[in-house]
Amino acid sequence: MVHHISSQSRVHTDRRDLHNLKSMLPFLWEYRGRALFALGCLVFAKLANVGIPLVLKEIVDGLEKSVHTVLVLPLFLLIGYGVLRLASSLFNELRDAIFARVRYRAMRNLSTKVLTHLHDLSLRFHLERQTGAISRDLERGTRSVSTILNYMVFSILPMVVEFSLVAAVLLTQYDIKFALVTFGTVIVYVGFTLAITEWRMEYRHIMNRLDSEANSQAFDSLINYETVKYFGNEKLELRRFDDTLADWEDNAVKSQTSMSLLNFGQGGIIAVGVAIIMIYAADGVVEGTMSIGDLVLVNTFMLQLFIPLNFLGIVYRQIKYSLADMDLIFKLLEQQPEITDAKDAERLKLQGGEVRFEQVDFAYQPERQILHDVDFTLKAGEKLAVVGHSGAGKSTLSRLLFRFYDVTAGVITVDGQDIRQLTRESLRAAIGIVPQDTVLFNESILYNLAYGNPNASQQQIEEAARIAHISDFIDQLPDGYQTVVGERGLKLSGGEKQRVAIARAMLKRPQILIFDEATSSLDTKTEQSIQETLREVARNHTTLVIAHRLSTVVDADRILVMDQGRIVEQGTHPQLLQQQGRYHQMWQLQQKQQQLGPDQEGQ
């Protein structure tokens, strides 16, 4: 079925393509001198290329005349013919060598800019994104820059220059019918190629979408390898992946079949054009208005023009595909970060590290408010715990303090400074966090520890490991600190990963510490061991502990009880038990669960 594109949609697409091509220019600016030199080489190569048929004509005419008199070898012309061929090759290769740095530096700069932009985008974007699809779009998008530059400099511009030079020779040296047939054939050829390629583009767009979808599905199934195994859903994942590839296969076959139609049509147009030119030229030779050299010249010009034109369909398709791929990248670059530094943002002037939430409201979506009028002060050096059932809004507090999101209403301050008026870099440098789910890089333990402070010395790293009580474990490993932890740290136990998280948080030397349900996923024995470590590192720090298990926060200076986004109770552990309120109910429930056995804990 032929897919018709509305004129309005086509105009929008054309505008996007032009906009994207303009957006690509800054990436070329660094090596603009090289680019201009490469273009100069291109022009010289094409001048030599067009000169070859002209010299060949003189050679043929010279040999034809000498047949009737004395056979004379036109040595000068033959040497000139060889020199022109050598010059054409030299300037072409010189152009390629000079332009390589321009092309690959543009790819490098674009890749770096996209990754920088991805890191600048908000947490909301990264929670909603599909990593596999974005990685494939990034790969195709950066490759598209190289493809477009490659075809523009090595195909389109050479074709335009050569066509212009050939047109000048035909119009000035021969009957206008030769130019008309040549131009007419080219116009029909180009028109046919563009029309069929536009029709075929729909299949390519669908293939791209399905390719990203299949890649994302495969990526997700591998990331969730254990979950797939737990439920025995290998066949489900494979069927989902294969169904997507089946749709991709159908569209790929349609794309290939339509390409065969395009190639056959192009071959037919070229054959007709060359045949007409040869008939006219042969007729001119018979009538005596053209020499054999002229026939050879016209024929050689046609062949030289149509050799690159024969690849026009491929070039046009690749440019269109590359423009579509590039559009994904530039649309990504156009996405505005949700959280940015204020224009007059200042660095945090840290004193004791007092944190204040003043009548804070927050909603991830307008229709679903998470926090309601949350108001509390975490004094410098104090250990404050926040408890409540799942969904009460506890972890949202740490995300707001890190400024992953901005409050809907109210204000959050650190040492009296509104965090919205501070640079994010200085704010986050003052806060260390040990999360519930510690995700490690697939690198060495040393790399993951040093992530808290990449400039730390080996001695400082080992000291942080000792404080987190993981140094003995590392020393027992065959490769020690060079042991690779596996993707997301899968080679380490939950307790070991948490200790790495504690060590790298301490290596950051933050004034404010956040423990975000740091032990909720651990068994009782490991939890008690980690809790001792957390108590040690929390000394002399402003500490916010977000917890589900109340037994982990009984030593807190103050405890806030949250329910449905509101603070409903606060006080010390004994005070809250005396109030016989929500905290007391939670405590009684968890005590019963502990009596039932460790398997019931945390349920």
**Burial of residue 559 (number of CB atoms within 10 Å: 0-12, 13-18, 19+):** buried
Q: How far apart are CA 584 and CA 569, in angstroms?
A: 10
Residue the block writes with tokens 């390898």: 225
Give the pLDDT confidence score for residue 32 in this predicted structure. 76
Give the pLDDT confidence score for residue 9 in this predicted structure. 47
Give the pLDDT confidence score for residue 292 in this predicted structure. 80
**Which residues in the chain come in under a pLDDT of 50?**
1-12, 67, 69-70, 598-603
Taking only the tens place, the pLDDT of each residue in 576-590 is 999 988 999 989 988
Residue the block writes with tokens 């002209």: 54
The encoded tokens of residue 572 equal 């010390």
Q: How far apart are CA 42 and CA 152, in angstroms?
A: 11
Q: How far apart are CA 280 and CA 177, in angstroms?
A: 8
| % helix, strand, coil for the chain, step of 5 | 65, 10, 20
Q: How far apart are CA 524 and CA 537, in angstroms?
A: 20
Taking only the tens place, the pLDDT of each residue in 293-341 is 888 887 777 777 777 776 766 777 778 778 877 887 888 888 788 888 8
The gap between the terminal CA atoms of the chain, to the nearest Å, is 56
Give the pLDDT confidence score for residue 578 in this predicted structure. 92
* Domains in the chain with CATH codes: 14-334 (1.20.1560.10), 340-430+510-603 (3.40.50.300), 439-507 (3.40.50.300)
Q: Looking at 336-404, which runs of residues are DSSP E strands?
A: 355-365, 368-378, 383-387
